[in-house]
Amino acid sequence: MAARKFDNWEPITESDSTIQAALEDASIPSLMVALVHLTGDESIMRGDIRPRSRLLADPQAGVTEEQQAVVRAQAFEILKAYRDGGCQLPPAPNLDQIAEMMNFIIGEPLLEAYAEFLVGELSLHGEDPFGQPGMEQIPQKKKDAFHVLVIGAGMSGILAAHRLKEAGIPCTVIEKNADVGGTWLENTYPGCRVDSPNHTYSYSFVPKNWPQFFSSQKVLLEYFDQCASDFGIRDNIRFNTEVERAEFDEQSQTWNVRIRNADGTIQILNANAIIGAVGQLNRPRRPDIEGRDAFSGPSFHTAQWEHEHDLTGKRIGVIGTGASAFQSVPEIAKQAREVVVFQRTPPWVRPQPIYHDYVSDGKHWLLNHVPYYAKWFRFFMFWRSGEGMLEASKKDPAWPHQTRSVSEYNDRIRANFTKYITSIVGDDPELLQKCIPDYPPGGKRILVDNGTWLKTLRRDNVHLITDPIAKITEAGLVTESGETYEFDVIIYATGFYPSRILWPMEIRGLGGLDLQTHWDGDPHAYKGVSIPQFPNFFCMYGPNTNIVVNTSIIFFSECEMRYILGCIKLLLETDQASMDCKQDVHDTYNEWIDEGNANMAWGAPTVKSWYKNEKGRVTQNWPFTLLKFWQQTKGPDPSDYIFRSRKP
């Protein structure tokens, strides 16, 4: 992986024909705003050619073929002049101009607040959008005396260690696995790939020449592996080591952490703060189906794939139709004699024609050579796959058809998805009926498809069964109607225990309060990060920080880490030993979150999903815009916390 900053674009030295060829592959909206940077000419975005909002499925956002040709011709002249002039840029645009560029690319006026966010993202003046200014002014001696223990070396833990190191704060990372990568290390099932666009699903400060728009598990693991090496944090990580228990010591206002080393020995580490970066989807769940252990053949969970079993010519039973089944079943079906998929609830499927496509040479060239093109492309993706989708999941209380959809907009999405599903399986009425969910789109995670899933369900060797499973037997499965199925292998694509955040670790806060008992299956935190009575314990990807409509969870981790760094900075600046979130602040915040979630498709009382706990509360999701989370996590407000010093 060539880790480069987006603003380190390469000078253009290539021939006219290379430029022309690359422009054929351009995202026209991203290119047009990049041309404004290159020329300072605002008329480029004030003419008739402009992207249109809400056309989220069209990669060119409604810019016609003819218009695209006009833009390419203009871009060709501008890029040639830029090359021949020694690759000089005019002065950077000001805030008003950025706001205009942003509104142009989105196709509608956005909140002014986005401009500030974008200025950071574009790093026009060297800003670090997720940095914590002022950290460098704290004396190193103070920092050296503040040790942070990070639990987990996945995407969030790697980021945490990097940011701490950058800030000069000592840290130790405890990782239960033998290597970094977390979810991308553990999930090795065939077909595993990211389903958020990679140009947003990457650290903001480590772009990569992603081979595909949605890369495979192997490529993602390589990325995080390389990041850990490039960040120089490997020596901070203790692999094959598990945190068993962490207890807050009120005398010293520090944490005592009991770890089990690779050789089984127990050790107690002391830390001023803990960052829990263990993810929400970390502990695989096999449902409690009667006779679960009776099956005589191999059976395993998608997140614990047993590669030693050759599935060629085998009869396979797959339980579940969530994202993991969705990606693995098409691959299994290519090898197996027969695949029987047991579906309890169908997923909504969203067409994404480029899901398996490779990024063309031309696109790579543009991303690497045209100043600011990659930044705007990232923002364009960020909007189209995330922020722009949120509105479609928002409930309109006046909408009369709340069971099937939550608003008129949501209903239109439903109609589009239904049309797509029908276009592939419509000539098989029984299958079609099984594939159309009866709940609103966005109620559960929407799966992106380029036709692979639906076409797989049509294969002669694949059968989709909706008759509920009654029990597992030595030979296979029996459904409630009494039908028996015999298998060589059973695969559990049955998800995780998301509501048991940080489980099975024993975390004890003030007065020995046990976190899991305290939460009782209903995890709450302030901004997803701080938990009252657990001072200096910070979560990443904690309660209510998951996103449903796509875009990147890495964005959230970067926001959370910025906030956590702000907390550490505050402690060091004020010479306090610990900070503990005020209960009323936490409670008011969570009321706001709950209200927000109740207004979203995933909060609909008729929908069951991993976003909700057993009591029906949405414990996992963030219901507002990404911008709102970015604003919320700029840094801590000292009045939200109780500060304590070390007891004499």
As a whole number of Å, the CA-based R_g of the chain is: 26
Restricted to residues 146-205, the positions that interact with ligand NAP (CB under 6 A) are 193-195
Nearer Cβ to ligand NAP (194/618): 194
Give the range of 105-113, 488-496, 583-591, 613-621 binding ligand NAP by CB under 6 A.
488-496
Rounded distance between C-alpha atoms, residue 327 and residue 347, angstroms: 12
Restricted to residues 459-478, the positions that interact with ligand NAP (CB under 6 A) are 469
Give the range of 38-46, 313-321, 330-338, 596-604 binding ligand NAP by CB under 6 A.
313-321
Q: Report the nearest approach of ligand NAP to the CB of residue 545 (Å).
A: 13
Question: In terms of C-beta distances under 8 Å and separation of at least 24 residues, what long-range contacts does 213-218 make, across chains too?
Answer: 213/354, 213/355, 213/357, 213/359, 214/352, 214/354, 214/355, 214/356, 214/448, 216/192, 217/184, 217/187, 217/188, 217/192, 217/193
Nearer Cβ to ligand NAP (147/414): 414
Beta carbons within 8 Å of 411's beta carbon, 6+ residues apart: 399, 401, 404, 405
Nearer Cβ to ligand NAP (241/620): 620
Kind of pairing between the strands at 266-271 and 254-260: antiparallel
Restricted to residues 64-83, the positions that interact with ligand NAP (CB under 6 A) are none
Kind of pairing between the strands at 273-276 and 266-271: unpaired
Restricted to residues 598-617, the positions that interact with ligand NAP (CB under 6 A) are 608, 610
Restricted to residues 241-280, the positions that interact with ligand NAP (CB under 6 A) are none
Q: Report the nearest approach of ligand NAP to the CB of residue 327 (Å).
A: 6
Q: Report the nearest approach of ligand NAP to the CB of residue 515 (Å).
A: 23
- CB nearest ligand NAP: which residue? 322
Cβ distance 633 to 555 under 8 Å? no
Rounded distance between C-alpha atoms, residue 495 and residue 187, angstroms: 12
Give the range of 28-36, 82-90, 314-322, 386-394 binding ligand NAP by CB under 6 A.
314-322
Q: Report the nearest approach of ligand NAP to the CB of residue 68 (Å).
A: 31
**Element of type H or E holding 21:** helix 16-23
Nearer Cβ to ligand NAP (469/539): 469
Is residue 445 within the footprint of ligand NAP (CB under 6 A)?
Answer: yes
Contacts with ligand NAP by CB under 6 A: the residue count is: 24
**DSSP string of 153-199?**
-SHHHHHHHHHHHHHT--EEEE-SSSSS-THHHH---TT-B-SS-TT
Restricted to residues 321-360, the positions that interact with ligand NAP (CB under 6 A) are 321-325, 327, 342, 344-345
Among 56, 289, 475, 627, binds ligand NAP (CB under 6 A): 289
Nearer Cβ to ligand NAP (74/550): 550
Among 90, 133, 134, 287, binds ligand NAP (CB under 6 A): 287
Rounded distance between C-alpha atoms, residue 177 and residue 175, angstroms: 6
Rounded distance between C-alpha atoms, residue 646 and residue 263, angstroms: 34
Cβ distance 388 to 46 under 8 Å? no
For residue 598, give the amino acid letter: A
Restricted to residues 489-508, the positions that interact with ligand NAP (CB under 6 A) are 493-495
Rounded distance between C-alpha atoms, residue 76 and residue 312, angstroms: 51
Q: Which residues are near ligand NAP by CB under 6 A?
A: 193-195, 281, 287, 289, 319-325, 327, 342, 344-345, 445, 469, 493-495, 608, 610
